[in-house]
Amino acid sequence: MKTYPKICLTTFAVLVTGCASSPPPQQSQIYIPPPTIVKYGDSQSIETVTADFGSTDLQTITETMVRSMLQSKTIQNSKSAPTVTLAEVKNQTGESINTRMITEKVRTQLLKSGQVRFAVSSNEMQSQVDELKRQNQSGMYRNDGISKTGMMEGAKYRITGTISTIVKQNRDMKDVFYNFTLNLVNNQTGLIEWAEEKEIRKTVTR
Amino acid sequence: MKEQNVQVDDSLGVQSLMKLFLLKATTLVIVSAVLSTLSGCTTAPPPPSEKQLMTTRMGDTSAVEVIDMRSVMRNNILTAQVTVKNWGPPPNPKTGEKQPDSKLYGYRFKWLNAGGMVVFTDEAWKPLTLTRDQSADLVGVAPTPDATAFRFEINQYK
């Protein structure tokens, strides 16, 4: 008769301790980061992460500008591929945009077309001068193999441009309007021989 | 009299046989004609049009129809123009109401030389903002004078 309550008590105690044996893990103990997945994507795909200037805008702008410039009479009516240099693209937006990326992409695509030649830009002039000095003034090179000074070719045209935005937003919506213009200026005459613009509208809604 | 009766009976049997034969032959001809017509209908579908051959579709782009395609050499550079129209998704089968197209599309051109080789790196996909029943003329300019032909690519990216 006495054994029955004892068995009941021990069973109850085992059950209670069994339930309370594993306390909930505290957050401060171990941090397990969420699993990360790395994969390659299509570099040409449409990117809509935010309304800020993105890769699709860069690619679209560059394509439009280069194709339009190639069709211009200035380029096509030249007897030989004209020499062009990169000047400045002014960033008149509130964003931090690497405009050098735009001009260099324009230069690469124009060079790949084979329709123009590029002279070094003012930004790259220092390295060009350093290289010529090294070859001509260091006294370490054979005379018949060096690139001589005073033989550089001046650019007939220069590429300039601006990127600007109009941003409007309210509680539910944000509208960003980009306007990019590019000009081809004749260095000798100062005439703008070609110009093109590209407009992009991006909206964000909540 | 008996002979006559027999003769009449014989003539009646031949006539009915002839009628039966004619009926069967007519039925056979009609059935074969119907079968040949049906089999004619179920032969291979018509060959794809030039527009279909020059268009590559990715994802669900069935609502967007390529209406027109043309190209011209301008200052030694190939310029292509593709006219597309978004017919939108099919109307609601219960109410018959037209539904707005919520899909987002992108497009690009692929430029080929005379030998059919791709002449430049892939273009970026450009967003195509087309609401229901809206059409657009998409113009592409070749990146080099080597391009003599083009293909139009359209995809659904969202």
> Do the Cβ atoms of B143 and A73 come within 8 Å?
no
Query: Over chain B (158 residues), what is each successive 10-residue block's mean pLDDT?
Result: 48 66 74 64 77 91 93 92 92 83 90 94 91 92 94 91
Name the one residue in this structure whose structure tokens are 């692929």: B110
3-state secondary structure B81-130: EEEEEECCCCCCCCCCCCCCCCCCEEEEEEEECCCCCECCCCCCCEEECC
- Sequence spans of domains, chain A: 50-119+155-206, 122-153
pLDDT, one tens digit per residue, over A91-121 is 999 999 999 899 999 999 999 999 999 999 9
Residues 6+ apart with CB under 8 A from B150: B54, B71, B78, B80, B109, B110, B111, B112, B140, B142
Are the C-beta atoms of residues A44 and B123 closer than 8 Å to each other? yes
pLDDT, one tens digit per residue, over A134-165 is 999 999 999 888 999 999 999 999 999 999 99
pLDDT band at A30 (very low <50, low <70, confident <90, very high): confident
Using an 8 Å CB-CB cutoff, list chain A residues near B145: 113, 115
Using an 8 Å CB-CB cutoff, list chain B residues near A63: 123-124
Structure tokens at B27: 């039925």
- For chain B, say whether A56 makes contact (Cβ under 8 Å): yes
Are the C-beta atoms of residues A46 and B157 closer than 8 Å to each other? yes
Among A46, A106, A116, the residue to mutate for chain B (most B Cβ within 10 A):
A46
Q: Is ipTM > 0.85 here?
A: no
pTM of the full structure: 0.74
Q: How far apart are the first and last CA of chain A?
A: 73
Which residues 97-136 of chain B have a CB within 8 Å of chain A?
Answer: 104, 106, 108, 120, 122-127
pLDDT, one tens digit per residue, over A32-87 is 888 899 999 999 999 999 999 999 999 999 999 999 999 999 998 888 999 999 98
Among B58, B71, B74, B75, the residue to mutate for chain A (most A Cβ within 10 A):
B75
Q: What are phi and psi of B76, to 5 degrees?
A: 75, 5
- Indicate the class that CATH gives domain A50-119+155-206: alpha beta
Task: Looking at the structure, give the CATH architecture of the domain made up of residues B50-156.
Answer: Sandwich (2.60)
Give yes or no for residue A27 having a pLDDT over 70. no
What span, in angstroms and rounded, lies between the C-alpha atoms of B112 and A60? 20
> Do the Cβ atoms of A46 and B120 come within 8 Å?
no
